[in-house]
Amino acid sequence: MTMIPKQLKAVQARIHAACQAAGRADDSVTLLAVSKTFDADAVLAAFEAGQTAFGENYIQEAVQKITALRNLPLVWHCIGPIQSNKTRLVAEHFDWVHTVDRLKIAQRLSEQRPAHLSALQVCIQVNVDGGPTKSGVTPEDALALVQAVKALPRLQVRGLMCIPEPATDFVAACALFKRARDLFDALNAEGLTLDTLSMGMSADLEAAIASGSTMVRVGSAIFGARHYPA
């Protein structure tokens, strides 16, 4: 826990340097601290160091932390895959969801979002590099899905999210991220007014920021190596 503030500051410095190199303002990029597999105390340590936006992959684990820390002014982002039987938990507990890649999931989230909560902020996950085992709508189908989700009540479409395959170097990473940025720009040219491009993680946030990311999802560089159950 004692290393989290220092590591958070180091990540913030990386983001600052990447923004400087890209000629962008620091506040054009939001840092999402990915706290999956770490407990509420780790989230609290990051919060006390100034972090308020947290990303979670495992929904039931996340709900436990969200409930435990409900009195803190935190913003919770669901960044993991969503099965149909988990949509109610997402709709009832999260502020954002980054992994909508089919209309059925969006419809369930819309129907199950409690009326007393503000609209659930949504990013459409796009499979920019065509990996056959990867989640995400194809770039060719993204416009139709965005338009369909925008028509649903209790949801607000904010932009796109992608998780491309790891690249061999900075230039290769930029080329992958550019596909998402080009799609983002093309959708906005259709009048969709998207403002969020969620891409980049601990290993490649510099390339993502150079390519136009507005939100980077960083876990291990802040919280340390993860230990998964055997």
Res 27 pLDDT > 60? yes
The DSSP secondary-structure symbol of 119 reads P
pLDDT tens profile 4-24: 999 999 999 999 999 999 999
Contacts of 154 (CB under 8 A, 6+ apart): 109, 110, 111, 113, 115, 119, 120
Q: Tell me, what's the pLDDT at 225?
A: 86
Contacts of 96 (CB under 8 A, 6+ apart): 75, 76, 77, 78, 120, 121, 122, 123, 158
**pLDDT > 90: what percent of the chain?**
91
Q: Tell me, what's the pLDDT at 146?
A: 98
**Rounded mean pLDDT of 110-116?**
98
C-alpha atoms less than 13 angstroms from C-alpha of 16 in its C-beta half-sphere: 6
Cβ-contact 69, 49 below 8 angstroms: no
Q: Tell me, what's the pLDDT at 132?
A: 67
pLDDT tens profile 121-173: 999 999 998 766 678 999 999 999 999 999 999 999 999 999 988 899 999 99
**Rounded mean pLDDT of 46-65?**
97
The confidence band for 226, taking pLDDT boundaries of 50, 70 and 90, is confident
**pLDDT > 70: what percent of the chain?**
97
Cβ-contact 82, 101 below 8 angstroms: no
Res 229 pLDDT > 70? no
Distance separating alpha carbons of residues 77 and 36, to the nearest angstrom: 11
pLDDT tens profile 197-215: 999 999 999 999 999 999 9
Distance separating alpha carbons of residues 6 and 211, to the nearest angstrom: 27
Largest CA distance in the chain: 48
Three-state SS for 152-192 is: CCCEEEEEEECCCCCCCCHHHHHHHHHHHHHHHHHHHHCCC
Q: Tell me, what's the pLDDT at 165?
A: 87
Q: Tell me, what's the pLDDT at 129?
A: 84
Find the helix or strand (DSSP H, E) in which 218 lies. Answer: strand 215-218
The confidence band for 2, taking pLDDT boundaries of 50, 70 and 90, is confident
Q: Tell me, what's the pLDDT at 135?
A: 87
**Rounded mean pLDDT of 42-70?**
97
Res 50 pLDDT > 80? yes
**Rounded mean pLDDT of 109-114?**
98
